[in-house]
Amino acid sequence: MKKVMVEHLKYRYPGTEKLALDDVSFEVEEGELIGIVGRNLSGKSTLAQAIVGLVPHFYRGAYGGKVIVDGIEVLHSTVSDISRKAGIVFQNPFTQVTGSKLTVYEEVAFGLENLGVPRSEMMERIDEALTLLGIYDFRHANPFDLSGGQMQRMAIASIIAMRPEVIILDEPTSQLDPQGTEEVFLAVQRLSREGMTVLLIEHKLEKVARYADKVLWLDEGKVMAYDSPSKVFSRDDLEEHGLAAPIYTQICKALKLKSPDGETYPVTLEGAYEVLKRWN
Amino acid sequence: MELIRVEEVSFAYLPGKLVLDRVTLRFDHRSTAIIGQNGAGKTTLVKLMKGLLKPFDGEILIGDLSVKKVTAASLAKRIGLVFQNPNDQIFKGNVLEEVMFGLLNIGVEREEARVRAIRALEMVELEGKRDMNPHDLSLSQKKLVSIAAVVAMDPEIIIFDEPTIAQDHAGKERIKEIIRYLDEKGKMVMTIIHDMDFVAECFERTVVMNRGRVLLDGPTREVFSREEVLKEAYLELPTVAQLSKRLGLSETFLTPKEFIAHLEGRIKG
């Protein structure tokens, strides 16, 4: 079943002339994990806002085309209706924290209170989300006493506890250490295997290559590619549009060593190992 | 020459919970990366060096100045710190004023401050945004404004706390260039960073922190050859080193370039 359908979406912020999104179309199946990549200002965050309805309901501006999330059309729904279907984790956790709650536990409860979830279920969901993100031990801490990485995981837990059908994460690991980053990717992969549809904006292409089912590459508001990580990251025009292929791909490309399919280059550690091992 | 001496420094935000536990480090001019998991004490350590926090035990000397005895203001000419979150640093209504602010505070004349601020904005390629409100910029641009503001003050020691947050490929490359440029100018550049590929490419020396202590300290290549110790600090190898290890090679490679050159040699040979 298709969870997200975007058809010929065009969007311009108020007071600007350039289209932030220019004829964007793609579809996402239930449970898929999609990596959204592209240089800064390519339209990734705007697309994320368009899926949860902040574009156009909060930002206004000129809007054309259609976004359908779990069967409802974003343009004709309210942000609060869409919030029951799709949740977003912002790039900067400081933007997301309510600032009105004194503990991590209450912060994660906030969204659930708004949804009117019964208390006993709330407690169960909060514990689960905090454990999944590895911050259960900080549940009584003040959100503003957390490190950047811990706060980022709290922001993700707040959304996951709401159990949306679709979750969009905007660079969720930018402030995390390598282990924290890996934990978040594993948590996201688990959610996607359990059936949650995940859209992940990320600059770490090695991670995208390893975890994403498909890659949506945007540049100047347009879709450059929507395909498997190996197909997208093997393209020759990445650099020209401000992207660097995963390091594994760069190495194999420099050595002209293709994957067994004869078309693409390896994009992961294992893929690169397979083609390089015979040189040892 | 020693620029910074950290002697047996301990620090805690809450009683009984040591964030730094008798840390001793000496810093010379070599560019240095400080790595470690979230909460290891990295940011606390640099805030202490900058004089924003005072150690409750031990001593920190910046040159011959003890941070305990002088104010943060008097250290500002010697040591600059670019905060992790640019929103903690930025508060002026336009970009140029923001970059001039520190200069004016250390007593630079207004006209000279303006010239130096513009030069710093050119370095981060944001000269065209000088009349904008910094809060209307993207997170990655704000980060560059906060870098410009510190570099403009021309301190001998420049510390970056997570400079690559929110940067795309081009932004990261620009920050690498800035670090190399400052290094060549004889500045001591110290950086807290989670991006191991960036560490491998840019820094001569790497200090690994774990739970408020120094776990490893040495030339970057040596540090990245100690995978078992890095694991203890919840860190991973740079991508290239992961691949060379997976292939069973004994050398530690730091950049794709040197690894490709090595493999080309093998393929030809």
- Choose, out of B263, B264, B266, B268, the residue to mutate when testing the contact with A (most A CBs < 10 Å): B263
List the structure tokens of B247: 């292939």
The per-residue pLDDT for range A12-38, each reduced to its tens digit, is 999 999 999 999 999 999 999 999 999
Of B114, B109, B150, nearest to B130 by C-alpha is B114
Closest in A40, A92, A247 to B197, CB measured? A247
**CB B169 to CB A243 under 8 A?**
yes
Token pair for A63 = 């809007």
End-to-end CA distance of chain A: 46
Task: Answer whether CATH 1.10.10.60 is correct for domain A1-85+165-229.
Answer: no
From the list A91, A147, A273, which residue is nearest B39 (CB)? A147
Domain with residues B4-66+78-220, CATH architecture: 3-Layer(aba) Sandwich (3.40)
Contact B171 A273 (CB under 8 A): no
Q: What is the mean pLDDT of chain A?
A: 93
Contact: B166, A91; criterion CB under 8 Å: yes
Name which of A144, A177, A181 to mutate to probe chain B: the one with the most chain B Cβ atoms within 10 A of its Cβ: A177
| Contact between B243 and A248 using a beta-carbon 8 Å cutoff | yes
**Domain ranges within chain B, ordered by starting residue:** 4-66+78-220
Contact B217, B196 (CB under 8 A): no
Question: Does the pLDDT value for residue A280 go beyond 70?
Answer: no
Q: Which amino acid is at A51?
A: I
**Token reading at A267:** 């994009």
Asked if A147 lies within 8 A of B38 by C-beta distance, the reply is yes
CA distance B166 to chain A (A): 6
What was the pLDDT predicted at B38?
80
pLDDT tens per residue across span A85-143: 999 998 777 777 887 889 999 999 999 998 899 999 999 999 999 998 888 999 999 99
Residue tagged 């190399």 (tokens): B180
Residues A233, A234, A238: CA angle, nearest 5 degrees: 60
CA distances in angstroms from A37 to A206, A229, A263, B193, listed in the order given? 12, 11, 22, 22
CB contact A255 to B (< 8 Å): yes
Cβ separation B38–A279 shorter than 8 A = no
Q: Which chain A positions have a beta carbon within 8 Å of B169's beta carbon?
A: 39, 203, 242-244
| Per-residue confidence in pLDDT tens, chain B, 269 aa | 789 999 999 999 888 889 999 999 999 999 999 999 888 899 999 999 999 999 889 999 999 999 989 988 889 889 999 998 888 888 888 999 999 999 999 999 999 999 999 999 999 999 999 999 998 998 889 999 999 999 999 999 999 999 998 889 999 999 999 999 999 999 999 999 999 999 999 999 999 999 999 999 999 999 999 999 999 898 999 999 999 999 999 999 999 999 999 988 877 76
Q: In the prediction, which pLDDT does A177 show?
A: 85
Question: Domain spans of chain A?
Answer: 1-85+165-229, 95-163
Question: By three-state DSSP, how is residue B40 classified?
Answer: coil
